[in-house]
Each structure stands twice: as structure tokens, then as C-alpha cells.
Amino acid sequence: MAAPATIPLREIAFARSGDKGNSANVAVFARTPAAYAWLRDHLTAASVETFFKPLGVGTVTRYEVPNLEALNFILPEILAGGGSRSLRIDSQGKTLGMALLEMPVAAAILKPAG
Amino acid sequence: MPRPLKIANASGFWGDQPDAAARLVAAQPDLDFLTLDYLAEVSLSIMAIIRAKDPAAGYARDFVDVLRSLIPFYQAGGKTKIVTNAGGLDPASCARACAEVLRAANLSRLKIAVVSGDDVLPLLRSSPPTPAKHNPIGYDGAKAGFANLDTGAPLSAIASRLVTANAYLGAEPIAEALRAGADIVITGRVADPSLTVGPCLAHFGWKPTDYDRLTGATVAGHLIECGTQACGGFSTDWLDLPDNHDIGFPIVEVAADGSCVVTKPAGTGGAVTVPTVKEQLLYEIGDPANYLSPDVTVSFLTLRVEAAGENRVRVAGATGRAPTNSYKVSATYRDGYKAHGMLTVFGHDAVRKARRAGEGILRRLQDRGCTYRETLIECLGTGASVRGLASRMSDTHLVETVLRVSVAADTKEPVERFTKEIAPLVTCGPQGVTGYATGRPKVLPIFGYWPCLIAKSLVKPTVQLLA
């Protein structure tokens, strides 16, 4: 049986999202040093912005946090007004971390090197 | 070298577990401080509404009950001090209610201090409608017309609808209250981590320019400010946690150099591990090199997070710089009304039926002359929380969905009319509609959030010890 071409991001990372006004952040943490190297090279601001486009996100900013083997993504205007105003079931971005962990990534990352 | 300070959090938000404080001191009577956070971004606007009906209720009344739950602990000689922002819009009234509880329990020896001066609503209301210029760091908010920090919009756009405006004060007035002998410090709006930094300032005698130590304490405060979230609550791997029905509230043991060990009381559920602590470190953080607190500008980029025993994680290496010359202000303004109605739809084509039924409600209301500035139909179960961007199957596979219909309007009437249109679907909607027994939805006021900056020189924090 052929190995799957993609795996969900959650297999190599964990995450947490939170709100700030109408913006949210999603911090993505690598489960291994190798996963961090992969995430740093492949989980770009552009790919995260494309992923969250259906929610109306603005221009995504990415910050590297190498000492925590983490990437922090700032997602402006993603909460349809945020806090008290948004009509969405998730007005505070509680689900965004879990959503991003569903993102398909290349399964090759799990293969042993060499 | 002074011993480490043990500081726990017993409330991460207004509505958190009511017995957390009593359980913390029962499990760990040697705690130096309990901190309790009650104020999210728009909490103060909710207090403003309650206060409009009851002038003595502009604070988190839940805290008075928490204090009551600690009476046996204090009567038995307990020494743990308390720092909380439960004072909300009216810390003086909160303090008086607490003093009454202590007096009735013959505990008047416990001194209460009130930290106020965070209310800057009069300053915002009287600010001239100058055109705004978007420049978020290190400028004078008043001169820039208190422009919205996120959008750059001028305050004049909403000035006539302001409800609250409170500056996030820092740790110094809390430390001052503790130096004056307070056992319980009740504040209005302060930066959440400052609830922890204040006790450290008073205990260790740090100078306001000890930036690295202040940063360490700020990080410690940030780690515990959301209650159990540091101990596995809200974590990615929550399902694998031991005893996750009863996750412990967090404790930081802050050392004189500002480093800390994060832990939790023995016998509680959840876990304090490198992953749970890392997740909380970056919770609601923007640029990790420039986290602005009123006490210090924090960098997260030099922190070391390492295991230090079972349910013990050490966080060290903090570095920080001088704080900016402005306070962040969280202002809120009236912005219309909204309501959400929910019904469960079961059966073949459940999602199609639910969507059609939701559209039907909105169409009926439109035919009757109701107009809304925004409406939304969600079919929960389809991945609607994120508009289906992470769905795993086609909606046609679902045999059940929860229909959630929402409307918002500038005035109350059309929203009130909407709340009467949900239940009728039981008889005029598709077969299989259920879950309607919770009554009509509530009409909710909407409060817009207006973050802005104010020069520190314009704000005068005050500390008052209750006689």
C-alpha cells in the first residue's frame, strides 16, 4: 500500500490560538527539532494566509521563536469583529489553532533522513 | 537572598471555577499570594450595564463570594495574601463589600487596599476631535486623538457612544499597597501579569529599572493569568492528560533573579510539562520580541523552558527593556444589538434543511420590514466554526446539525422581533427539528472594542488603604 502523500500538521506540531480585538494569533510548536526545521522552511506566512482566507484574514505576519521551537502567526481581521461584535460561533478564535493543525503537510517530513 | 515567592492564580476570567481559591489554599497553605483575574477586553462594558441597573454593582461580585469561601482559612491563621482586579469599574465598592465580609467574620485585622486611577473615560470624552495618525508605539495618545490602535481610526468616530475607558495600570501601585501592609489588594484595570509583578516588586525590593527581573516576573504572571491553561487546560493534547476532569490551578515560584518554576498543587489533574508551558507562553502574544507591559518591554526570545521534576517546569533567561511612556487603554462603546438562535435538525438532508430553514427566518423578517446590518447562518457539525476550511467529509453525510442563526442591527427592535421567529420552526420547519426547549434567545447589546494609548503622565494611579 502506498504511503499517504500528506499528513495533518498536528502529527508534527501542537498549537494554541487566542484573540486580541479583531485579530488572533496562532502559535505553532514543533514536536521535534527536525519538525521545527521543516516548519520554519515550509509553514510560511503566505501558506497560513491562504489557509485562513475563507475567514477573511488580512496580511499574516510570522514571527520565529527558535528558543521555543515555535512560530507565531498574527492573523489580523480574522474574527469578523471579534469579542462582543462577531456573530460567529467562534468569536474569539478559540478554534483557529485546531483548524491549522488539520492543514495537510508533506508526509515526507516523517521519513528518517538519509 | 530572599526566598522564592509562591504565587498562584485562582481565576483566569470572570466566570471561572468558584471554588478554585479555597481548594488552592487547602492543598497548599504556604502560598504567599493568590491572584485572581476577572477582566477580559470587554468585561468592563458588561459591568457598566449591570451598574446602570444597580449603582453598587460595578465590580465582579463573584470575588466577594470567593473571599467568603476563604474565611475558614483565615480564621485558622492562614497568611496568603490576595491581589485581584475584581474591582472592575468600582474597586472602592468592591473593597467595602469585602470589608463587610471580613468584619462579620471578626477578621478586620486583614487590611484591604484599593488601587484606582485607571478610569480615563473623562479624558477620552473631553479629547478634541483631532485627525488621527496611526503610530502605535511610543506616542502621546491624547495628542493623536486616542486613535484606534488596530485600525488607526480617530476616536471621533465613536466618541459619543463611549461606555468605558480604562488604562492598564502596572505593578507599582500594587507593590505600594503591599508595602503599606495590605493583605488584600483590589484593583480596577491593571495589566494581567502586573497582578504577579506587584508582589515580586514588594517582596524582592527590585528597582523599576531591574528590567530582566521584571521581565521574568511578567512572564511568570502571563503564564498563570489564564488559570488552568498553564496546566494543560485548553492544550492541544488535552485528551491525553491525567485526571483532566479536575485540572489544577497554576502556581509560580518566582526567584529573586526573576526566573520561575511553574507547578500545581499535588493531587490535582492535568500536567505541567514543557509543552503545556510553551503553549501558554505564546497565548495571545503578538511580536515575541516586543511584548508591551506597563512595567517592562518583554522579549520571549531568550527564555529557556526546561523540565525540573514532576509537574515542575523552570522558565529562565528573561530579558527586557524599559517600558514605553504610554499605557494601553481598553475602551468600549455602544454598537447596536445582536441575538443568536439555535435549533437542532435531525434527518436525511439535515444540513440542506437547516440552511433552508435559517434562510426562511431571515426572509420572513425581511418581508415584515426588519432590516439588519449583518446576518449569519451556521450549520454546526459541518466545521462551521471555521467556515468549513478544515472539513473532513461532505455535509450530505451528516444526519444531524445545529442550525444557528444570528442577526445584528443598530436598533433593538428588529433584533427583538428576530428572537420570536426561532421556535415557530418547530411546526413550520422540516420534520426532525428539536432542541427548542431553552426559550427565546436573548437580545445582547454589542460593545465595540477600542484599544488606544495614553501618555503615562496623564494617568495618576492611586492607592488607598481602607481604615
Contacts of B72 (CB under 8 A, 6+ apart): none
Residues of A in contact with B378 (CB under 8 A): 88-89
Give how far Cα B60 sits from Cα of B107, B119, B185, B187, Å. Answer: 21, 16, 14, 11
Cβ of A8 under 8 Å from any chain B Cβ?
no
Q: Which residues of B322-357 are buried (b: 16+ CB within 10 A; e: fewer)?
A: ebbebbbbbbbbbbbbbbbbbbbbbeebbbebbbeb
Q: What is the CA radius of gyration of chain B?
A: 24
Contact B378 A19 (CB under 8 A): no
User: Residue B46: which pLDDT band, with cuts at 50, 70 and 90?
Assistant: confident
Chain A residue closest in CA terms to B336:
A85
Mean confidence (pLDDT) of chain B = 94
In a domain, A9, yes or no: no
Predicted pLDDT of residue A95: 97
Contact B404 A18 (CB under 8 A): no
Residues of A in contact with B41 (CB under 8 A): 21, 83
In a domain, A46, yes or no: yes
For B261-277, what is the mean pLDDT? 98
Report ipTM (2 d.p.).
0.95
Give how far Cα B438 sits from Cα of B92, B276, B416, B419, Å. Answer: 38, 36, 16, 12
Chain B residue closest in CA terms to A76:
B150
Per the structure, the complete domain to which residue A94 belongs is given by: 25-106
B462 Cα to chain A: minimum distance (Å): 28
Predicted pLDDT of residue B137: 46
Quick check: A114 pLDDT over 70?
A: no
Q: 426562511: which residue's cell? A: B360
Contact B417, B370 (CB under 8 A): yes
Residues of B in contact with A76 (CB under 8 A): 150
**Residue B163 corresponds to which cell in the numbers above?**
461606555
Quick check: B62 pLDDT over 70?
A: yes
Measure CB to CB from residue A25 to each of B236, B285, B303 and give the nearest one. Answer: B285
In a domain, A43, yes or no: yes
B280 Cα to chain A: minimum distance (Å): 8
User: Residue B130: which pLDDT band, with cuts at 50, 70 and 90?
Assistant: low
Contact B387 A51 (CB under 8 A): no
Residue type at B120? Answer: V
In a domain, A91, yes or no: yes
Cβ of A16 under 8 Å from any chain B Cβ?
yes
Chain A residue closest in CA terms to B452:
A21
Task: Concatenate the DSSP letters of all residues of B71-115 into one string.
Answer: HHHHHTT---EEEE-TTTT-HHHHHHHHHHHHHHTT-TTS-EEEE
3-state SS class at A92: coil
Predicted pLDDT of residue B135: 46
Q: Which residues of B23-70 form beta strands (DSSP E)?
A: 33-36
Q: 465590580: which residue's cell? A: B59
Task: Concatenate the DSSP letters of all residues of B369-406 into one string.
Answer: T---SEEEEEEETSSGGGTTTT--S-GGG-SEEEEEEE
- Number of Cβ within a 10 Å radius of residue A92: 18
Contact A84 B448 (CB under 8 A): yes
In a domain, A12, yes or no: no
3-state SS class at B175: helix
In a domain, A53, yes or no: yes
The pLDDT tens digits of the residues spanning B421-446 come to 999 999 999 999 998 877 899 999 99
Instruction: Show the domains of chain B with their CATH numbers.
Output: 5-118+168-324 (no CATH), 335-448 (3.30.70.100)
Domain count, chain A: 1
**Residue B189 corresponds to which cell in the numbers above?**
484595570
Contact A27 B404 (CB under 8 A): no
- Number of Cβ within a 10 Å radius of residue A41: 8
Q: Pairing mode, if any, of strands A70-75 and A23-30?
A: antiparallel
In a domain, A7, yes or no: no
Minimal CA–CA distance to B265: which of B237, B292, B228, B305? B228
Residue type at B292? Answer: L
Quick check: B371 pLDDT over 50?
A: yes
In a domain, A52, yes or no: yes
Q: To the nearest 10°, the Cα dihedral for B147, B37, B258, A14?
A: -80
Calpha distance B36→B46 (Å, rounded): 18
Predicted pLDDT of residue B132: 46
Strand order in the sheet with B297-299: B291-292, B297-299, B319-321
Contact A65 B451 (CB under 8 A): no
